[in-house]
Amino acid sequence: MQQPYSSIPHSNSSATSKRSANHWWMLAGISIIFLTASCKQNPETITNQQQETAPELIYSNSFDSADDLKDWKMEGPGIAEIQDGKLLIHSKWMNALTDLQKEIPINLNIPGGQSYYQYLEKWVTEKEPQNLAKYKFKRTDQPTAKFVGGHIQYWNTRVHPENFKITIKFQALNPYPLHMVSFCGNGTNGEDLFSPKLKSRYGLASQYMRGDISNYRISYWSGTRKTCNSRKAPGRILLADDTNELPESALNKPVLLEIIRWKGRVQFKCDNAILTDWTDTENPLKSGYFSLRLMATASGLYDDFNIYKLTENPFTKI
């Protein structure tokens, strides 16, 4: 009998061909899946890569030698020197004031110099009377100039951009306040901060908050106050008084301080913990100069100072 067209042998051959074809398509499909998977990025990976877009490092100072202090300018009776690869900074009156506390019951943990100005004025009058006038300031709401000196301001002479991240390591060498950072420093009429057109400065607080310069200032390591206060000059305008403070461990080991600025918003962090976060909505300051500020009893070590230029809003990634 004649076999049908689709005989068994033919049928087996066809089945074999189909199986071969199906096998080929299955392998091809698996290859495509693996190829697609290898080309595709995990959305989380993309997000992380976007978040880790590195800002541009435009200035760095590791305070390894005395040459690293050439980019800094002291205002006031300050001492700045390199100690074991770190910046040691304090007022020249710091040791005398801390020694005085052993003889006279004065509380150096209270921010402000009211507890020790009388002793400083006596020492300056006796030891350097020619400089006495530098330690005094007359406010417009006061009839006479008052002694309010002994504090220091240490400026980095490189201009930082409008939008930036600044990092610096800090370790306190005694418990006494205050330590501060200032930034966006300039003359109030657009002058360079170091222009001879501006009045001379000698570390007096009012020269920086009520004088002819503009800047932001954040205070920390505040003794009994235990807050991070943020102010704007001129006018000493209080922008924030957050009840956060550096950990007491900063007296025993370095902590990392960060200032992040985008447009009018500023964040101040210590070891990645946010201490203050505020936005200046009224004529926010632009690019300018950065400084460290210490009151007469404070002393500290600073290290690894870095300025980064930001080109995209860092707060959208938080």
Query: How confident is the prediction along the chain (318 residues), in pLDDT tens digits per residue?
Result: 333 333 333 334 444 444 444 444 444 444 444 434 444 445 444 444 445 578 999 999 999 999 999 999 999 999 999 999 999 999 999 999 999 988 998 999 988 899 999 999 999 999 999 999 999 998 888 889 999 999 999 999 999 999 999 999 999 999 999 999 999 999 999 999 999 999 999 999 999 999 999 999 999 999 999 999 999 999 999 999 998 999 999 999 999 999 999 999 999 999 999 999 999 999 999 999 999 999 999 999 999 999 999 999 999 875
The CATH number of the structural domain formed by 56-317 is 2.60.120.200
Distance from chain centroid for Cα 140: 32
pLDDT score for 39: 41
Distance from chain centroid for Cα 244: 16
Measured distance CA(168)–CA(3) in Å, rounded? 92
Cα within 13 Å of Cα(176), Cβ side: 23
pLDDT score for 15: 40
pLDDT score for 141: 82
Measured distance CA(158)–CA(301) in Å, rounded? 21
What residue spans of the chain are helical by DSSP H? 8-39, 43-51, 94-100, 117-127, 205-209
Measured distance CA(266)–CA(231) in Å, rounded? 12
Which amino acid, one-letter code, is at 149?
G
pLDDT score for 11: 39
pTM greater than the 0.75 cutoff = yes
Torsion over CA: 301, 230, 110, 297 (sign): positive
Break the chain into its structural domains and give their ranges: 8-40, 56-317
Any idea what DSSP says for residue 147? E
> Beta partners for 156?
72
Measured distance CA(230)–CA(194) in Å, rounded? 23
